[in-house]
Structure 1
Amino acid sequence: MSNTTQSKRNRTIGLAVVGIVFSMVALAYASVPLYRIFCQVTGYGGTPQITESGPTTAMSQRKIKVRFNADVNSSLDWKFKPYEHEMEVHLGETALATYSAENDGKETVTGTAIFNVTPLKAAPYFNKVECFCFSEQTLAAGETADMPVSFFVDPEILEDPNTQEVRTITLSYTFYRAKSDS
């Protein structure tokens, strides 16, 4: 094999390796937003659906119990809790739950809430209409704020054979210090 042929072959292999490495880095960088979109579309991983508006009246006589959980990451000096730990709602009826957040720190802090729904198979049927978790929340030192979430459980949950036994859904939030506040 001549030097020219060998050089062309080495250059081709080198470009292929660089292309593969670049593709892997690009895929790794894009995987988090792509996974988030996948979860929002499918409800996978406990991600509830988000809708512009919900029904105003119940579409079913059946009720389901919704429990509310609140946690705070150790990077945030906040107290965070639901006013009600559970409520029963008619399927298809829009309900309102309110959480309370208090900044126990000595400075203004911005936080962001991450949410999920359990059991995971119920997440596609849990629809949030309005939620404090859609945007970052800023609290001054010592400030307390009410944080409402408006939601409904889609009556289609009754038609899914995988969710026939679901009688209780838990909506869980964890507040973290916002990246913009780091």
Structure 2
Amino acid sequence: MLKKTRINIFVPLTLFIALLLDGVIASVFSAQMYTATSDMVPRLIIVCTIIFAFYIDRSYMILFGILLGLLYDSYYVGILGIYTSLLPAMIYLSDKLKKILNPNLLVLIMITILQLSLTEFLLYGFYMVIDLATIDVTTFLANRLGPTLLLNTLLLVVLYYPLKKLADAITRD
């Protein structure tokens, strides 16, 4: 019972803080992150979700992914459904990958790069379909995808051990 309570309190709280920090980081460091030659987009909510998906039960994480995806969509995007479907899909993929891969920092870096790339491509494709994308594919790859992957990989390296410790503390009996 205590474990379930810890999961229901600390995981959504941590993910909510990550959601807020996405906007704070983008706002505070906007001069450094959004230049004429590159756009670095912090995806802290995705990084934290992937880490937690490796250590917390899938059923809890998918529910939290849906709720936080809906919140992310309503707060940042304005179009409901994009992150509401992307976050649970990433959790499901992470859950399947954790069964065949050993969850260590290197594996999580590779999975994060894979899932962030997939997310950015899906978002770019979605915005192309509704005619909101203003850049071509090569510009997207060079100026947006690369810098975004670099930033979020660095965030993962910094946050991995504290979030793993938190996940271990939450799930211990």
Normalized per residue, the structure richer in helix is 2
Higher strand fraction: Structure 1 or Structure 2?
A: 1
Shared fold (TM-score, shorter chain, > 0.5): no
| TM-score, length basis structure 1 | 0.25
Which structure exhibits the higher relative contact order, with contacts defined as CA atoms closer than 8 Å and separated by 6 or more residues?
Answer: 2
TM-score, normalised on structure 2?
A: 0.25
